[in-house]
Protein backbone atom coordinates (compact mmCIF):
# COMPACT_ATOMS: atom_id res chain seq x y z
CA UNK A 1 0.00 0.00 0.00
CA UNK A 2 1.06 3.59 -0.65
CA UNK A 3 -0.13 6.33 1.68
CA UNK A 4 0.42 10.04 1.01
CA UNK A 5 -0.60 12.39 3.80
CA UNK A 6 -0.65 16.17 3.28
CA UNK A 7 2.43 16.00 1.05
CA UNK A 8 3.68 19.50 0.29
CA UNK A 9 6.71 20.70 -1.66
CA UNK A 10 7.67 24.35 -1.98
CA UNK A 11 10.44 25.68 -4.23
CA UNK A 12 11.05 29.30 -3.32
CA UNK A 13 7.71 31.00 -3.91
CA UNK A 14 6.33 28.14 -5.99
CA UNK A 15 4.16 25.54 -4.25
CA UNK A 16 4.64 22.55 -6.56
CA UNK A 17 2.63 20.15 -4.38
CA UNK A 18 0.03 21.38 -1.93
CA UNK A 19 -1.22 19.04 0.84
CA UNK A 20 -1.72 16.01 -1.38
CA UNK A 21 -3.32 13.00 0.33
CA UNK A 22 -4.37 9.69 -1.22
CA UNK A 23 -4.05 5.94 -0.79
CA UNK A 24 -3.07 3.34 -3.40
CA UNK A 25 -4.35 0.00 -2.16
CA UNK A 26 -3.21 -3.60 -2.69
CA UNK A 27 -4.95 -5.52 -5.45
CA UNK A 28 -5.77 -2.32 -7.33
CA UNK A 29 -4.29 -0.11 -10.03
CA UNK A 30 -4.42 3.57 -9.09
CA UNK A 31 -4.30 5.95 -12.05
CA UNK A 32 -2.40 9.14 -11.16
CA UNK A 33 -3.39 11.88 -13.60
CA UNK A 34 -2.97 15.57 -14.26
CA UNK A 35 -1.78 18.04 -16.90
CA UNK A 36 1.88 18.93 -17.27
CA UNK A 37 3.04 20.82 -14.19
CA UNK A 38 0.28 19.46 -11.97
CA UNK A 39 2.80 18.12 -9.46
CA UNK A 40 2.56 14.40 -10.26
CA UNK A 41 6.27 13.79 -10.82
CA UNK A 42 7.25 15.73 -7.71
CA UNK A 43 4.73 13.73 -5.68
CA UNK A 44 6.05 10.43 -7.02
CA UNK A 45 9.63 11.49 -6.28
CA UNK A 46 8.66 12.31 -2.69
CA UNK A 47 6.99 8.91 -2.32
CA UNK A 48 10.18 7.25 -3.60
CA UNK A 49 12.44 9.22 -1.28
CA UNK A 50 14.16 11.10 -4.10
CA UNK A 51 12.77 14.49 -3.06
CA UNK A 52 12.27 15.54 0.54
CA UNK A 53 8.83 17.03 1.25
CA UNK A 54 8.56 20.48 2.77
CA UNK A 55 5.85 19.01 4.97
CA UNK A 56 3.62 15.98 5.11
CA UNK A 57 4.65 12.37 4.70
CA UNK A 58 4.51 9.34 2.42
CA UNK A 59 4.79 5.67 3.31
CA UNK A 60 5.12 2.53 1.22
CA UNK A 61 4.14 -0.73 2.91
CA UNK A 62 3.82 1.23 6.14
CA UNK A 63 7.33 2.74 6.10
CA UNK A 64 9.16 5.66 4.57
CA UNK A 65 10.75 4.47 1.32
CA UNK A 66 14.18 5.37 2.70
CA UNK A 67 13.62 3.09 5.70
CA UNK A 68 12.74 0.03 3.63
CA UNK A 69 15.44 -2.65 3.84
CA UNK A 70 16.62 -3.52 0.33
CA UNK A 71 13.81 -1.41 -1.22
CA UNK A 72 14.08 -2.99 -4.68
CA UNK A 73 12.79 -6.24 -3.19
CA UNK A 74 9.63 -4.45 -2.06
CA UNK A 75 9.02 -1.59 -4.50
CA UNK A 76 9.57 -1.50 -8.25
CA UNK A 77 10.09 2.03 -9.57
CA UNK A 78 10.16 3.42 -13.11
CA UNK A 79 10.30 7.22 -13.16
CA UNK A 80 12.64 7.85 -16.09
CA UNK A 81 13.44 5.07 -18.57
CA UNK A 82 16.34 7.09 -20.02
CA UNK A 83 18.15 7.18 -16.65
CA UNK A 84 20.35 4.20 -17.51
CA UNK A 85 24.11 3.94 -18.04
CA UNK A 86 24.42 4.23 -21.81
CA UNK A 87 27.69 2.29 -21.88
CA UNK A 88 26.29 -0.84 -20.25
CA UNK A 89 24.32 -3.53 -22.00
CA UNK A 90 20.80 -4.31 -20.92
CA UNK A 91 21.96 -7.60 -19.43
CA UNK A 92 24.80 -5.93 -17.53
CA UNK A 93 22.35 -3.38 -16.13
CA UNK A 94 20.12 -6.14 -14.80
CA UNK A 95 23.02 -8.23 -13.51
CA UNK A 96 24.34 -5.27 -11.52
CA UNK A 97 20.89 -4.66 -10.02
CA UNK A 98 20.61 -8.38 -9.19
CA UNK A 99 23.89 -8.23 -7.29
CA UNK A 100 22.84 -5.14 -5.36
CA UNK A 101 19.54 -6.79 -4.34
CA UNK A 102 21.09 -10.17 -3.54
CA UNK A 103 19.09 -11.96 -6.24
CA UNK A 104 20.21 -15.10 -8.09
CA UNK A 105 21.71 -14.39 -11.56
CA UNK A 106 19.00 -16.50 -13.19
CA UNK A 107 16.47 -13.81 -12.39
CA UNK A 108 17.96 -11.73 -15.25
CA UNK A 109 16.81 -14.17 -17.91
CA UNK A 110 13.38 -14.44 -16.29
CA UNK A 111 12.68 -10.71 -16.49
CA UNK A 112 14.22 -10.37 -19.97
CA UNK A 113 11.78 -13.01 -21.15
CA UNK A 114 8.94 -11.34 -19.25
CA UNK A 115 9.47 -7.98 -20.98
CA UNK A 116 10.26 -9.57 -24.38
CA UNK A 117 13.82 -8.29 -24.78
CA UNK A 118 15.66 -10.76 -27.00
CA UNK A 119 19.19 -12.05 -26.21
CA UNK A 120 20.51 -9.89 -29.03
CA UNK A 121 18.78 -6.80 -27.68
CA UNK A 122 19.93 -7.56 -24.13
CA UNK A 123 23.53 -7.74 -25.40
CA UNK A 124 23.28 -4.27 -26.92
CA UNK A 125 24.38 -1.13 -25.10
CA UNK A 126 21.46 0.86 -23.72
CA UNK A 127 22.74 3.97 -25.49
CA UNK A 128 21.66 2.34 -28.77
CA UNK A 129 18.20 1.37 -27.51
CA UNK A 130 15.02 2.79 -28.94
CA UNK A 131 12.62 4.47 -26.50
CA UNK A 132 10.45 1.38 -26.46
CA UNK A 133 13.43 -0.87 -25.62
CA UNK A 134 14.48 1.47 -22.81
CA UNK A 135 10.96 1.29 -21.45
CA UNK A 136 11.04 -2.51 -21.48
CA UNK A 137 14.41 -2.52 -19.71
CA UNK A 138 13.12 -0.04 -17.13
CA UNK A 139 10.10 -2.26 -16.51
CA UNK A 140 12.41 -5.28 -16.19
CA UNK A 141 14.39 -3.40 -13.52
CA UNK A 142 11.17 -2.51 -11.70
CA UNK A 143 10.02 -6.15 -11.70
CA UNK A 144 13.43 -7.66 -10.94
CA UNK A 145 12.99 -7.98 -7.17
CA UNK A 146 9.44 -9.36 -7.44
CA UNK A 147 8.14 -6.34 -5.47
CA UNK A 148 4.79 -5.91 -3.77
CA UNK A 149 4.40 -2.34 -5.07
CA UNK A 150 4.96 -0.78 -8.50
CA UNK A 151 5.36 2.98 -9.02
CA UNK A 152 5.41 3.75 -12.74
CA UNK A 153 5.59 7.09 -14.55
CA UNK A 154 4.58 6.88 -18.24
CA UNK A 155 5.50 3.17 -18.60
CA UNK A 156 3.94 2.81 -22.06
CA UNK A 157 5.75 5.82 -23.53
CA UNK A 158 7.43 4.63 -26.73
CA UNK A 159 5.69 1.24 -26.83
CA UNK A 160 3.86 0.15 -29.97
CA UNK A 161 0.18 -0.94 -29.78
CA UNK A 162 1.18 -4.54 -29.06
CA UNK A 163 3.49 -3.36 -26.27
CA UNK A 164 0.79 -1.13 -24.81
CA UNK A 165 -1.64 -4.03 -24.67
CA UNK A 166 1.07 -6.21 -23.10
CA UNK A 167 1.68 -3.56 -20.43
CA UNK A 168 -2.04 -3.31 -19.70
CA UNK A 169 -2.29 -7.08 -19.23
CA UNK A 170 0.85 -7.11 -17.08
CA UNK A 171 -0.44 -4.43 -14.70
CA UNK A 172 -3.88 -6.01 -14.48
CA UNK A 173 -2.37 -9.41 -13.67
CA UNK A 174 0.02 -7.87 -11.13
CA UNK A 175 -2.83 -6.15 -9.28
CA UNK A 176 -5.09 -9.20 -9.47
CA UNK A 177 -2.33 -11.14 -7.69
CA UNK A 178 -2.46 -8.65 -4.81
CA UNK A 179 0.12 -6.08 -5.90
CA UNK A 180 -0.23 -2.32 -5.52
CA UNK A 181 0.20 -0.23 -8.68
CA UNK A 182 0.53 3.56 -8.87
CA UNK A 183 0.40 4.45 -12.57
CA UNK A 184 0.95 7.91 -14.05
CA UNK A 185 0.23 8.33 -17.76
CA UNK A 186 -1.08 10.84 -20.27
CA UNK A 187 -2.74 8.03 -22.28
CA UNK A 188 -6.17 8.42 -20.72
CA UNK A 189 -7.82 5.56 -22.56
CA UNK A 190 -5.15 3.15 -21.37
CA UNK A 191 -5.55 4.34 -17.79
CA UNK A 192 -9.31 3.99 -18.08
CA UNK A 193 -8.89 0.43 -19.36
CA UNK A 194 -6.79 -0.73 -16.39
CA UNK A 195 -7.30 1.60 -13.39
CA UNK A 196 -9.51 0.64 -10.44
CA UNK A 197 -9.03 4.01 -8.71
CA UNK A 198 -8.17 7.52 -9.90
CA UNK A 199 -6.36 10.49 -8.42
CA UNK A 200 -6.51 13.65 -10.55
CA UNK A 201 -4.21 16.58 -9.77
CA UNK A 202 -4.03 20.17 -10.93
CA UNK A 203 -1.85 23.07 -9.76
CA UNK A 204 -0.29 20.88 -7.08
CA UNK A 205 -3.58 19.83 -5.49
CA UNK A 206 -5.83 16.78 -5.66
CA UNK A 207 -8.91 17.80 -7.63
CA UNK A 208 -10.73 14.47 -7.60
CA UNK A 209 -10.18 10.94 -6.32
CA UNK A 210 -12.15 7.76 -5.89
CA UNK A 211 -12.92 4.54 -7.66
CA UNK A 212 -13.04 4.71 -11.45
CA UNK A 213 -16.58 3.39 -11.40
CA UNK A 214 -17.77 6.08 -8.99
CA UNK A 215 -16.02 8.97 -10.73
CA UNK A 216 -17.25 7.99 -14.19
CA UNK A 217 -20.82 7.30 -13.09
CA UNK A 218 -23.30 9.85 -14.43
CA UNK A 219 -26.59 10.46 -12.59
CA UNK A 220 -29.76 11.08 -14.54
CA UNK A 221 -31.57 9.75 -17.58
CA UNK A 222 -31.57 10.21 -21.36
CA UNK A 223 -34.84 9.96 -23.27
CA UNK A 224 -36.77 10.79 -26.42
CA UNK A 225 -40.53 10.81 -26.86
CA UNK A 226 -43.27 11.70 -29.31
CA UNK A 227 -43.64 15.08 -27.57
CA UNK A 228 -40.33 16.09 -25.99
CA UNK A 229 -41.47 19.64 -25.25
CA UNK A 230 -44.51 18.50 -23.27
CA UNK A 231 -42.58 15.88 -21.34
CA UNK A 232 -39.70 18.28 -20.61
CA UNK A 233 -42.20 20.79 -19.21
CA UNK A 234 -43.76 18.11 -17.00
CA UNK A 235 -40.34 17.16 -15.61
CA UNK A 236 -39.34 20.79 -15.01
CA UNK A 237 -42.63 21.44 -13.20
CA UNK A 238 -41.76 18.46 -10.99
CA UNK A 239 -38.43 20.15 -10.09
CA UNK A 240 -36.01 18.28 -12.37
CA UNK A 241 -33.41 19.77 -14.70
CA UNK A 242 -33.82 19.01 -18.41
CA UNK A 243 -31.41 19.79 -21.24
CA UNK A 244 -31.21 18.91 -24.92
CA UNK A 245 -28.45 16.77 -26.45
CA UNK A 246 -27.73 15.57 -29.96
CA UNK A 247 -29.46 12.28 -29.13
CA UNK A 248 -32.54 13.80 -27.49
CA UNK A 249 -33.06 15.03 -23.93
CA UNK A 250 -31.29 14.40 -20.64
CA UNK A 251 -32.68 15.00 -17.17
CA UNK A 252 -31.63 14.80 -13.55
CA UNK A 253 -34.66 12.60 -12.92
CA UNK A 254 -34.31 8.84 -12.67
CA UNK A 255 -35.87 6.43 -15.16
CA UNK A 256 -38.85 5.76 -12.90
CA UNK A 257 -39.59 9.48 -12.47
CA UNK A 258 -39.39 10.04 -16.25
CA UNK A 259 -41.81 7.14 -16.79
CA UNK A 260 -44.29 8.54 -14.26
CA UNK A 261 -44.07 12.03 -15.79
CA UNK A 262 -44.66 10.58 -19.28
CA UNK A 263 -47.70 8.66 -18.03
CA UNK A 264 -49.20 11.72 -16.33
CA UNK A 265 -48.52 13.91 -19.39
CA UNK A 266 -49.90 11.23 -21.73
CA UNK A 267 -46.67 11.23 -23.78
CA UNK A 268 -45.32 8.10 -25.47
CA UNK A 269 -41.65 7.37 -24.64
CA UNK A 270 -39.50 6.20 -27.55
CA UNK A 271 -36.17 5.79 -25.75
CA UNK A 272 -35.29 5.71 -22.06
CA UNK A 273 -31.84 4.89 -20.61
CA UNK A 274 -29.42 5.97 -17.87
CA UNK A 275 -27.17 8.87 -18.85
CA UNK A 276 -23.94 7.69 -20.44
CA UNK A 277 -20.52 8.79 -19.26
CA UNK A 278 -18.16 10.73 -21.52
CA UNK A 279 -15.40 8.52 -20.12
CA UNK A 280 -12.16 9.38 -18.44
CA UNK A 281 -11.26 11.95 -21.09
CA UNK A 282 -14.40 13.93 -20.32
CA UNK A 283 -13.83 13.63 -16.58
CA UNK A 284 -10.17 14.67 -16.91
CA UNK A 285 -10.78 17.78 -18.99
CA UNK A 286 -13.83 18.74 -16.99
CA UNK A 287 -11.91 18.43 -13.72
CA UNK A 288 -8.70 20.16 -14.84
CA UNK A 289 -10.24 22.84 -17.07
CA UNK A 290 -9.66 25.61 -14.54
CA UNK A 291 -6.08 24.63 -13.71
CA UNK A 292 -4.45 24.49 -17.15
CA UNK A 293 -0.71 24.13 -17.54
CA UNK A 294 1.62 25.42 -14.87
CA UNK A 295 4.37 27.85 -15.84
CA UNK A 296 6.82 25.70 -13.87
CA UNK A 297 6.67 21.99 -14.61
CA UNK A 298 6.70 19.71 -11.61
| 153 & 253 share domain | no
The answer to the question of residue 284 being in a domain is: no
pLDDT at 293: 53
**Mean pLDDT across the stretch 235-253?**
85
* 250 and 151 assigned to the same domain: no
Q: Which CATH number characterizes residue 110's domain?
A: 3.40.50.300
Give the domain-ending residue among 215, 233, 257.
215
**What mean pLDDT, rounded, does the chain reach?**
90
Half-sphere exposure of 63 (CA within 13 A, CB side): 10
Residue 297: pLDDT above 80? no
If you average pLDDT over residues 215-227, what whole number do you get? Answer: 84
* pLDDT 10s digits, 62-107: 999 999 999 999 999 999 877 888 899 999 999 999 999 999 989 9
One domain for residues 168 and 58: yes
- 292: in domain: no
**Does 77 lie in the same domain as 32?**
yes
Flag the least confident range among 50-64, 131-145, 207-221.
207-221
126 & 238 share domain: no
Domains contained in the chain, number? 2
What is the pLDDT averaged over residues 146-150? 96
Do 130 and 255 have their domain in common? no
247 and 142 in a single domain? The answer is no
Q: Are residues 135 and 272 in the same domain?
A: no
**Residue 298 forms part of a structural domain:** no
Q: Residue range 165-189: average pLDDT?
A: 93
| Range with lowest mean pLDDT among 60-74, 132-146, 209-223 | 209-223
Residues 229, 181 share a domain: no
CA distance 108 to 186: 30
* pLDDT on residue 295: 43
Q: Are 258 and 251 in contact (CB under 8 A)?
A: yes
Q: Taking residues 127-150, what's their average pLDDT?
A: 93
- 238 lies in which domain range? 218-276
| CATH number of 222's domain | 3.30.70
Q: Considering the entire predicted model, what is its pTM?
A: 0.80
- C-alpha–C-alpha distance, residues 167 and 144, integer Å: 16
Q: What percent of the chain has pLDDT over 70?
A: 96
- The pLDDT score that the predictor gives to residue 46 is 96
pLDDT, position 184: 94
Q: What percent of the chain has pLDDT over 90?
A: 70
Residue 295 inside a domain? The answer is no
Please tell me whether residues 107 and 25 are part of one structural domain: yes
Span 108-126, mean pLDDT?
93
* One domain for residues 32 and 177: yes
On whether residue 40 sits in a domain, the answer given is yes
Show which of 215, 236, 266 is a domain's final residue. Answer: 215
Q: Do 247 and 241 contact (CB within 8 A), yes or no? A: no
Amino acid sequence: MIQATDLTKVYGRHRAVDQVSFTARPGRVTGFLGPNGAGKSTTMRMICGLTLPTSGSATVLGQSFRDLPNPGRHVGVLLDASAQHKGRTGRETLRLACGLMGLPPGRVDEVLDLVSLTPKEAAGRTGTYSLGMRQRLGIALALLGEPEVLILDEPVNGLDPTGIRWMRDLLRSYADDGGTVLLSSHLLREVEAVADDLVIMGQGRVLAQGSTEELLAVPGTEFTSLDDTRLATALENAGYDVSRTDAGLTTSAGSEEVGRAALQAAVVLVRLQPSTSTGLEGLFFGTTAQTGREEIAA
